[in-house]
């Protein structure tokens, strides 16, 4: 892991517990900011 990433906190713009777990596993410092928009898929919406 790059020293640059290990010593610089950054913003995780997600509330995903899995993403937080991965960052913690590698000892990275981060702040978590959840999006304030509704990301619920629309009926019959294809994943992108």
Beta strand 30-32 with 10-12: parallel, antiparallel or unpaired?
parallel
Asked if residue 4 has pLDDT above 70, the reply is: no
Q: Which residue has the higher pLDDT, 8 or 45?
A: 45
Mean per-residue pLDDT for 10-22?
90
Which helix (H) or strand (E) is 2 found in, with range?
none
pLDDT at 18: 94
pLDDT tens digits, 22-47: 999 988 889 998 888 888 888 998 87
Q: Which residue has the higher pLDDT, 20 or 4?
A: 20
Domain ranges (residues) in the chain: 3-32
**The pTM is what?**
0.58
Q: How far is CA 45 from CA 37, 38, 39, in A?
A: 17, 14, 12
- For 14, the token pair is 């997600």
């Amino acid at each position: 892991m790059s020293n640059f990433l290990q010593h610089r906190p950054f913003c995780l713009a997600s509330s995903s517990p899995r993403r937080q777990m991965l960052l913690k596993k590698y000892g990275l410092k981060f702040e978590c900011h959840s999006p304030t928009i509704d990301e619920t898929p629309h009926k019959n919406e294809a994943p992108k």
